[in-house]
Structure 1
Amino acid sequence: MKLFQKLIAAPALISLASGFAINAAEINSTDLSDYSNSNDLVSLGDFKSDTLFPGDWAYDSLKDLTNSPKFNGNSVSRLEAAAELNNLIVGGEGLMNGAAIDRLSDELGSELAIMKGRVDGLEARVNTIEAGSFSETTTMSGSVGFLIGATDSATPANDKVMMEYFYEVDLNTSFTGEDKLNIEIETGNATGVGVGADKVGLDWGSGNDDTLKVSDVNYTFPLGEWKVAVGESMDASKTWPNACSMNNMVDNLGDCGAGNSVDLGGDISFSTSRGFGDGWEIGLGTSANDGETTKGIFTEEGADYYGIALGYERDNYGFTVAYSDKETATYTGLVGYYSPEELPATISGGIELTDPKTGDNKSQWAIGISTEVGEGTLSLNAGTNGPIVDDAEEIYAYDLSYEYPLNDGMSITPFVYIAETVSGTDDTTGAGAFVSFSF
């Protein structure tokens, strides 16, 4: 019996065992309200039989066969006795006490039959409700996270201990078996541990000011050899290959330092990709990033994104090269990973070049390694602390984390990081831990 069925049927079973009728109105469900007058429900009228008293052979026999506290010298209803007898039958005691069980079954046969018939009828009706109330092709997954962290930086106002949370629900529905309608709902209060004038933050959580909102709605479907996705608040790179596998903590190290090219971002977006065999895959995407404003989508006033990515992947290595145009600048990025067969580790990294329409060119890079240590995963990453203007002083960021699984649905990740700032000011350092729940 499924969980929902058990939740509905449990009151019926409890009421049967205690001699009381289940009241459908107490379930407080519109779908069950019509059951109150149904002949398939258990009612007290079904059980107007005599009570069993100490000294009755059936009472004494059940007392000898079971350790139930019901047979404590007080009378019991025949329905209560039938419930205890049913427990004996289900538990297998009838194999050892066949004659006694057979005689009790004959004595309480009417009550046993009513119990079975009524519960089976209720379960059948619950099956009908469940089948019609939620799509069998819809799945739900979710995650919750709690983070506590502290920073020490050149900006005293940022030196604080903070606690944040994040909650997300992901709903996926298929209509053909090959398509997927995805809806993501999230909330959180993450303001970013360490975020401020030093421009250092963690790649974690969501700053929604405790407001539950739909963060993404998109639909993915096949079109010939292509996989196509369209959506609101969707990255234009949603379907693209992406060979970055870094487990970074500092936000500026995200996407192997190529967060403007390989991970195109966007708002009202179109994304498509297809494979060509032998590990090759291409992705295309475009987005109107001002779709929610009065500027409209794909207008001269709006900010539109365009991009392309090419990926190649084998069993233990892969790479992705991408190019994007985001109105004010173009970006070229390269990311990749390598998992040596002789080592239980994955090396991942990338580089991105920025060519702004005005101003100087910039570049950034990141590299990291992840390896299994005990039951968890240890990750060490380093790279430039954001895009650096050519010929300018380079500043770097470093982070170290260890993800340890507490069980199948929980993990804890302690971390430390250092983010350099320009010469003459103190670096930003931080430490903390977060716990993640997946369901």
Structure 2
Amino acid sequence: MNKRPFLSGGLGLLGALALTAPAFADTSVSDLIAETESDSTGQVTSVSQLSDVQPTDWAFQALQSLVERYGCIAGYPNGTFRGNRSATRYEMAAALNACLDQISDRFASKADLDAVKALQDEFAAELATLRGRVDGLEARVDTVEAQQFSTTTKLEGSVIGTIQFGDQTDVDGGIGSSRASALAEVGLTFNTSFTGEDLLQITLLTGNGGNDFFGEFFDAGGGLAGGTVNPGAIEYRDTGPGVELDRLAYEFSPVENLSVTIGPQLYPSDFIDGNSYANDPGADFNSGFFINNALIINDAVDDPGGAGFGFNYNLGGGPLSLRAGYVAAAGGSAVEGATETEGLFGDPHQAVAEVEYATTFGASDDGNFAVRLQYAYTETFALVQNVVGVNAEATFGRFGVFGRYGISLDPQAGGADLFAVGTNNAQTWMAGVGVSDLLIPGSMLSFAAGQPFIAPGQPDQTNFEGFYRIPVNDNITITPAVMVITDPNNIDQNALIQGVLRTTFSF
């Protein structure tokens, strides 16, 4: 038998009177009772007299007891009960009153009523106190409802605080070691739904403007591929101290299993390249390189974000999903500039697409597998790329593996091959392992390695990072991590190493 809420169907277990549901805005309770009595058929003596109540109905036994034992049920003139119709509070009051009258008349003696009255008199003071408390609670609730921020908006927040120290090993003419530094990022997100199936998302971001050792190194050297590839600095560096609009996007669902997002400030990574193990700089890897595929998600577009749109379509609610998006980093520019920024459809921009197959396995569905085939077309400051890639992950109980790969096919810089020697392709890859609940419930130990930009004729930078996320409670985690980079900036030079202690607060 299905369990239902008390008031979910008709008059529920107190369905004493079946009413014709008039408009109750200007109707008194006495008028309502008189009206319902004129509309009803009179007392029902057997549940079989209600033509739309069947023995298989979830509340049949309750209705049968109310009819045949207590005589509390009346039907509509056509002999129906209409148990699936919602009941108003007026209807419930009338039904309860009629049922109590029946019980009082048929089952309560004068001695019983005198005893109840004596109890009422005896506990009059307590009842008055209780009534005062209820009145006070109602007044406080009214105040909260009148002063609350919004009935449709929920606030989410996150604070990331990090202490780091870096060094360039065996330095000889390099940058040496860094002082310990503190990085902080604060994000507030307002999630607003107007229909229950849509989402207006506004995120404000600020921080202390702190930088890490890797970030300082790559900023000085220009980064990989002219700054279009994330080489591995901490993702949340250089935030603030001013407040910026990090996200303004509206998501809605025009048809079942399809969500569409449009907005003046969003990111290609909003639509594709998600991964359960490497996707959140506040919860897993600190390095921007391990957060997203360095070629599929172009840093020149995804770092500033921009205006665009995208969709996510889950075919038939099954394991197959289609996703795509388009973002213009200079979408707010109405005039062509010296760096070829041309509004919504000019350079720089990126179009991305992804096909995902995701499923669970195992006797208790404690394992899962997902593979995502990807494509990206990018124009970033006269560099044109067509990139194909794959993003995969698998979980086997507490143990997981994950990885990404991408290849830029014949990239063109100003109409010419990007590379003058070798095959005119660039590649990237990363792979890692993770173990959950190691020693501490809710913890995660993970390690990954990868190469952001494999180019012909030059050394290949290799990144390593390991972290152990320790939950303090539901809202606070502490994560020590170690980050290492060899041949930074694809130059044969000494390795970089950085230690990180990150604390994340979420609410």
1:334 counterpart letter in structure 2? V
CA distance in 1, matches of 2:354, 2:309: 14
CA distance in 2, matches of 1:218, 1:367: 32
- 1:140-195 Cα shifts (integer Å, max 9, x gaps): 12111210010002542762211111111121111111111111112112443121
1:152 aligned to 167, 174, 185, which one?
167
Structure 2 CA distance for partners of 1:336 and 1:432, relative to 1, 3 Å = same
CA distance in 2, matches of 1:423, 1:178: 50
Structure 2 CA distance for partners of 1:233 and 1:367, relative to 1, 3 Å = same
SS in 2 for 1:252: helix
Task: Give the TM-score normalised by structure 1.
Answer: 0.68
2:446 counterpart letter in structure 1? S
1:374 counterpart letter in structure 2? L
Gaps spanning 5+ residues in structure 2: where? 1-120, 224-230, 279-283, 336-341, 361-367, 420-424
Q: Where in structure 2 are the equivalents of 1:190-209 lying within 5 Å?
A: 190-194=209-213, 195-198=215-218, 199=223, 201-209=232-240
1:353 aligned to 394, 407, 412, which one?
407
1:187 partnered with 2:255? no
1:380 partnered with 2:400? no
CA distance in 2, matches of 1:285, 1:420: 34
- 8 Å Cα contact 1:170/1:184 also seen in 2: yes
- 1:120-151 Cα shifts (integer Å, max 9, x gaps): 55543332333244333321121112100100
- 1:14-43 Cα shifts (integer Å, max 9, x gaps): xxxxxxxxxxxxxxxxxxxxxxxxxxxxxx
- 1:263, distance to aligned residue in structure 2 (A): 12
2:428 aligned to 353, 364, 378, which one?
364
Q: Tell me which residue corresponds to 2:297.
A: 260
Q: Where in structure 2 are the equivalents of 1:30-429 lying within 5 Å?
A: 120-132=134-146, 133-153=148-168, 155-156=174-175, 159-194=178-213, 195-198=215-218, 199=223, 201-225=232-256, 226-240=258-272, 242-243=274-275, 245-246=277-278, 247-257=284-294, 259-260=296-297, 265=302, 266-277=305-316, 278-295=318-335, 297-300=343-346, 302-315=347-360, 316-327=368-379, 328-330=383-385, 331-340=387-396, 344-354=398-408, 355-358=410-413, 359-360=418-419, 361-372=425-436, 373-375=438-440, 376-384=443-451, 386-421=452-487, 422=490, 424-429=492-497
CA distance in 1, matches of 2:266, 2:481: 30
SS in 1 for 2:216: coil
1:170 counterpart letter in structure 2? T
Q: Tell me which residue corresponds to 1:433.
A: 501
Structure 2 CA distance for partners of 1:270 and 1:263, relative to 1, 3 Å = farther
- 8 Å Cα contact 1:261/1:307 also seen in 2: no
Q: Tell me which residue corresponds to 1:81.
A: none
SS in 2 for 1:394: coil
CA distance in 1, matches of 2:433, 2:153: 37
CA distance in 1, matches of 2:209, 2:430: 24
- 1:176-234 Cα shifts (integer Å, max 9, x gaps): 11111111112112443121344565434252332223211111100124210111221
SS in 2 for 1:339: strand
1:317 counterpart letter in structure 2? F
- 8 Å Cα contact 2:187/2:205 also seen in 1: yes
Q: Tell me which residue corresponds to 1:43.
A: none
1:381 counterpart letter in structure 2? A
CA distance in 2, matches of 1:370, 1:169: 29
1:312 counterpart letter in structure 2? Y
- 1:314, distance to aligned residue in structure 2 (A): 0.9
Gaps spanning 5+ residues in structure 1: where? 1-104
SS in 1 for 2:266: coil
Structure 2 CA distance for partners of 1:252 and 1:158, relative to 1, 3 Å = farther
- 8 Å Cα contact 2:463/2:484 also seen in 1: yes
2:332 counterpart letter in structure 1? E
CA distance in 2, matches of 1:281, 1:363: 26
- 8 Å Cα contact 2:301/2:328 also seen in 1: no
CA distance in 1, matches of 2:239, 2:276: 27
CA distance in 1, matches of 2:500, 2:476: 17
CA distance in 2, matches of 1:129, 1:231: 35
- 8 Å Cα contact 2:453/2:460 also seen in 1: no
The size of the alignment, in residue pairs, is 330
Q: Tell me which residue corresponds to 1:32.
A: none
User: Percent of pairs identical after alignment?
Assistant: 20
Superposed CA RMSD in Å reads 3.0
